[in-house]
Amino acid sequence: MKMKLDEELRSLQLDRPSAGKSATQIQKHTVDETLNIKPVERSLFILTKGDDLQKISVIQALPSLLATDNNGTITRILPKIQQELPTSSSEFHIVTSKIFKILIQMNLPINLLRPVLQGIESKDPMVSGAWIETLLEVILFLSDVSIKREVLPFALAMSQLNKGVVYRIASCKMLGQIAIHPRLSAFDVKKDILPIVQSLCQDCYHEVRTAMCYELGNIAKGLGSDNLVKSSLLPSLVELSSDENVSVRAASVDATVFMIPYLNQETIKQTILPLIKQLCMQSLKTSDMTFSVISRVYGMLLNNLQSHVTPVEGQWFLNFYGQLSKKGISMSPEEIEMDPGLDVTCRDYCAYNLPAITSFMVNKASSDSATWYQIFKNLAADPCYIIRKTVAGCIHEIAKILGNDSKMILMDFVKLLRDDAEEVLDSLVPNIGPTLEYLCMAGVLSRDSVAPGTLEVSRALLKCQAEIFRFHNWRRKMIFLQQLECLPNIIESDFIHQHFTSVILKLTISARARPVRSQAARTILVFLRYNLKENHRKWIREKLTSLLYNSPCCYTRHVFINMCVHAIDTFSTRYFKEHFFLNLVKLLEDPVSTIRLCVVNLCPVLKHMCVTAVDRNYQVKLENALAKMEVTEADKDVIAALKAKLKEMRGVQVNKPDSLMEEKRRIDDEDKIQQGEATSA
């Protein structure tokens, strides 16, 4: 088909006059013009003569066509597409709906709303669904005139009983989006939308009532006034919360949560709180399945209610949360026949909402912290790894909210560090550093002495490290080592040297993945940077030299080079020149060409360090090594890199004020450490 299309394109060119030209010139001229035909002309021709796949390619190219020829695309291509839509395939409709969404959001000077509304009425459910999705996403971009004249009447027509359930559900969603349109007033929402909403809340099909229930929050936002919400929507919400269908009652929970911000204190006290308690107690019945929905929105619910409840009511909500968090753990005979997956989902939502519940407890039920801790403890030790994983992912947030009381979760954090489930460790590892820092602020750990919790945490960290390195996930290993960089801030330096330094040093040579070995070297440098004893610092430097620099393995020497790059970022240039500079320069004579190439690429940075008269010795060593390389180097890649870097080194380099200040700060910190004074990492 493509060949036939190309032939027809050429025939368009052959029909043009060509008097006075030879056949060869005509052919060349024709091919050139065919290749240079305007994109709009070519697209228009494909939409007329091409097959469905070719037409779809034109649709997908519409944004770029607009950039090339805005006027031609709007006046010729888009009308042609609208003309083709009624007889096009489902695939053509679906692709067009996605592109039209982009075009409408671009606010083009052409009305594309009509084909969207026509597409929604398609008998093909896939086509109709695609266009409904498009309309819902562009409603907020439409003008108020388009909303009132076209979209609102259409939504009203779709809500009629003679329309199918799918269309009435779509109408519910449209009304929700229309109600929050920025250019519609509360009066418009009350006059034009509210009557339809009240009718759909009483629809004979529970799917429609459920869909409308989910949109009540948007309707309340559109109404704005708490009196209007109370008088117009609250009766419908109360009725829906007692609906015979469980999905409607579940949706009413969501609606209640989202309507709270639009109600006044009195209404919340008199109507919403009793309603919520009723829904909560009803969800505990064996025949009711709304407990999973309640657990999902419970954190947001308490966050919205926080300023409206008394401490006694706060205790009630905390106790109910405790009941939700034990769903499926100790099952009654009636509950055994229920879906166990629903219980796990409920407990998982409870774990996800722990930070919000913790905040609620701190503000409203702090006297009942023992109840909260028992709930947290049960979730952190849940028999299902999915729940423990969720707790591990938010434990740093919980520690932050608890502040000085975070010491109560120390042993639970330790147990999570000792967990043998990979998924739990995946979730916990990125949060180890922040959690340890919050525990340190609470006095559980200290950098000045060996605090009571130091030994437990250290043992758990080493157990976690051993477990992580049993598997082959190198990214998890690298992230764990990154988290250990916070240890100098929270644990006494002698303790770190005694328990962690040897373990991490071993990883610089035994880890399989090079990024992990490189990160282990960086972590060791951080330990070196903040170690308060000179004999310990000297031992670490000697080990790095013997294990990495003097290694017979070229891959390990690569790790030494990576370590030097990290050292440049970690230490002052004075410290780097004193302990790492010369060994790095000597690697310019390494027998392995890739080693030499890596060092050559660092030479401009090394030269930039040698700017004062004191640095003359280092500068001479570097220049001599490079001069020798110019004569002896045989590898073409190294030669090319050497020439480029020598040219770069001859340029003038200026120290930025920020870098000079950072250098001074590092020197001051190193001088304090030299005198045995601790500094912050």
Q: Which helix (H) or strand (E) holds 632?
A: helix 616-632
Q: Say whether pLDDT at 31 is over 70.
A: no
| DSSP letter (8 states) at residue 264 | -
Burial class (CB in 10 A: 0-12, 13-18, 19+), 509: middle
Nearest to 78 by CA among 60, 64, 59: 59
| Cβ proximity of 134 and 116 under 8 Å | yes
What Å distances lie between residue 74 and 57, 60, 185, 615, 641, CA to CA? 17, 15, 32, 68, 52
Nearest to 360 by CA among 420, 396, 309, 428: 309
Q: What are the residue boundaries of the structural domains of the chain, listed by start?
A: 2-37, 407-491
CA dist., res. 365 & res. 477, Å (int): 40
Q: Say whether pLDDT at 495 is over 80.
A: yes
| Cβ proximity of 318 and 358 under 8 Å | no
The token pair that represents 658 in the structure block: 């920020």
Burial class (CB in 10 A: 0-12, 13-18, 19+), 55: buried
| Cβ proximity of 46 and 5 under 8 Å | yes
Least confident piece of the model among 69-78, 162-171, 458-467, 621-630: 69-78
| Cβ proximity of 46 and 52 under 8 Å | no
Burial class (CB in 10 A: 0-12, 13-18, 19+), 401: buried
Is the pLDDT higher at 415 or at 110?
A: 415
Least confident piece of the model among 156-170, 230-244, 473-487, 664-678: 664-678
CA dist., res. 173 & res. 211, Å (int): 7
Which pLDDT score is estimated for 339? 65
Q: Say whether pLDDT at 336 is over 70.
A: no
Percent of the chain with pLDDT over 70: 91
What Å distances lie between residue 201 and 60, 212, 235, 316, CA to CA? 40, 6, 10, 31
DSSP 353-368: THHHHHHHHHHH-GGG
Which pLDDT score is estimated for 36? 53
The token pair that represents 142 in the structure block: 């439409």
Q: Say whether pLDDT at 1 is over 60.
A: no
What Å distances lie between residue 363 and 311, 407, 409, 553, 591, CA to CA? 9, 18, 18, 59, 66
Using 50, 70 and 90 to split pLDDT, how confident is the model at 180?
A: very high
Using 50, 70 and 90 to split pLDDT, how confident is the model at 40?
A: confident
Least confident piece of the model among 30-34, 66-70, 174-178: 30-34
User: How does pLDDT run across 356-381, given as a tens digit for each residue?
Assistant: 999 999 988 777 889 999 999 999 99
Which pLDDT score is estimated for 30? 40
CA dist., res. 503 & res. 494, Å (int): 15
What Å distances lie between residue 12 and 32, 41, 489, 568, CA to CA? 13, 11, 76, 66
Q: Say whether pLDDT at 15 is over 60.
A: no
CA dist., res. 96 & res. 88, Å (int): 10
Least confident piece of the model among 324-328, 525-529, 545-549: 324-328
| The dihedral formed by the CA atoms of 580, 585, 590 and 595, expressed in degrees to the nearest 10 | 80
CA dist., res. 189 & res. 194, Å (int): 6
| Cβ proximity of 289 and 247 under 8 Å | no
Using 50, 70 and 90 to split pLDDT, how confident is the model at 602?
A: very high
User: How does pLDDT run across 192-220, given as a tens digit for each residue?
Assistant: 999 999 999 998 999 999 999 999 999 99
User: How does pLDDT run across 587-596, given as a tens digit for each residue?
Assistant: 999 999 999 9
| Cβ proximity of 282 and 291 under 8 Å | no
DSSP 531-588: ---HHHHHHHHHHHIIIIIT-S-HHHHHHHHHHHHHHHHHS-HHHHIIIIIHHHHHGG
| DSSP letter (8 states) at residue 122 | -
User: How does pLDDT run across 425-484, given as a tens digit for each residue?
Assistant: 999 999 999 999 999 999 889 888 888 889 999 999 999 999 999 989 999 999 999 999
User: How does pLDDT run across 532-560, given as a tens digit for each residue?
Assistant: 899 999 999 999 999 999 999 999 999 99
